[in-house]
Structure 1
Amino acid sequence: MFDVLVYVYEHYWRPDACPEAGLLARKLSAVGFEQEEITEALAWLDGLHSASQHATMGPSATSSRVYTADELERLGPDALGFLQFLEAARVLTPALREVVLDRVAALPAGPVALEDFKILLLMVFWSMGEEPDALILDELFVADEERLVH
């Protein structure tokens, strides 16, 4: 599923440039994605669209978040640490955090791999028509083992 999401991100720079689900499914199939991957990704994207529309009604900027045991299990320590890093850097608002948590909950099981979590984050920003600043994009795209500074 994550390969499909990366393909969508790379080929449709804005959500409004993305074709409707039926046409997108045919395009994804034509480039070689398996039907099961396409179905999972389209369902996940549909949920992202719904969650993104409600993001403006999320918690205030000063709110705190206590994670449930299920959320902690699904996130795992790496994704949770990265999520907290983005919040501390004020890159991820509480409302967007809730969209991220909604989309993590839509994954089959946890903990989500950090690489997959970063793709999920990119898709959340993409769905809002936002692009994180260059330093955050670097954090999202560069693998930990490729960093010059640890």
Structure 2
Amino acid sequence: MFDILMYLFENLVHNQSEMMVDQDELADELVRAGFHHDEIYKALAWLEKLCELQSTDANPYLQYTSEPSSTRIYTYEEQQRLDTDSRGFLLFLEHINVLDSSTREMVIDRVMEIETKEFLIIDLKWVVLMVLFNVPGKELAYEQMEELLFEVPEGLLH
């Protein structure tokens, strides 16, 4: 499912393609790209839920704010999906104002809906990028996250 999300984001969103695509047409394109129907519909449902989170009425996270000194406590299931490095990365993103408490919760919500055995920090970075892309007013945060995702270390590598 995550491979499909990546494919869609890179080929439709990131390439500035027309976003108003018929779902059946999109599913046919994904089948032609080699993806299975079950995974396609799971990915499309994941994206639909992400789009629903844009609406203040449908998104409890947009009304969620926390005190700057508060700490997010992760559930056991969240800890199983998001390892220490991933949780630390989310905290880092909050400290540099790429994420706020509501977008962090949206990211965690979307991460927990991804069906995968192994979830890596690079996967988390892509989910953050997808969430920020879909939240109005987060264009600067999206650009910062894009830089973090695609930054290439300078200098000689040993």
Structure index of larger Rg: 2
Equivalences, count = 147
RMSD: 2.9
Q: 1:63–1:35: structure 2 CA closer, same or farther, 3 Å change rule?
A: farther
| Cα pair distance change 1:110/1:27, threshold 3 Å | closer
2:80 is aligned with what amino acid? E
Give the Cα–Cα distance (whole angstroms) in 2 for the partners of residues 107 and 134 of structure 1: 24
Amino acid at match of 1:138: E
- What is residue 2 of structure 1 aligned with on the other side? 2
1:128 aligns to 2:135 (yes or no):
yes
CA distance in 2: counterparts of 1:78 and 1:18, whole angstroms: 36
Identity percentage over the alignment?
Answer: 35
Cα offset for 1:84?
0.9
For the 8 Å contact 1:74–1:109, the answer to whether it is kept is no
After TM superposition, give the deviation of residue 15 of structure 1 in Å. Answer: 10
Task: Provide structure 1 residue ranges, at least 5 long, that are not aligned to the other structure.
Answer: none
What is the match of residue 50 of structure 2?
A: 48
Matched, 1:137 2:146: yes
Change beyond 3 A, Cα 1:109–1:61: farther
Deviation at 1:75, TM superposition (A): 0.7
Aligned residue for 1:25? 27
1:99 to 67, 90, 106: 106
Q: Which runs of structure 2 are paired with 1:63-142 in the superposition (5 Å)?
A: 64=70, 65-108=72-115, 112-129=119-136, 130-131=138-139, 132=141, 134-142=143-151
| Secondary structure at 2:35 match in 1 | coil
Measured in 2, the distance between the counterparts of 1:128 and 1:61 equals 21
**Offset from partner CA, 1:16-58 (integer Å, 9 cap, x none):** 8242433321222233322233122112112222333314222
Q: Contact between 2:107 and 2:127, CA under 8 Å: does it hold in 1? A: yes
Higher helix share: 1
- Mapped to 2, the partners of 1:83 and 1:111 lie a distance apart of 18
- Whether the 8 Å contact between 1:63 and 1:94 is mirrored in structure 2 is no
Q: Which amino acid counterpart does residue 57 of structure 1 have in structure 2?
A: Q
CA deviation after TM superposition for structure 1 residue 133, in Å: 5.3
Change (3 A) 1:111 1:26: closer
| TM-score between the two structures when normalised by the length of structure 2 | 0.75
Give the Cα–Cα distance (whole angstroms) in 1 for the partners of residues 17 and 134 of structure 2. 6
User: In the alignment, which residue of structure 1 is the partner of 2:153?
Assistant: 147
Distance (whole Å) between structure 2 residues aligned to residue 12 and residue 18 of structure 1: 10
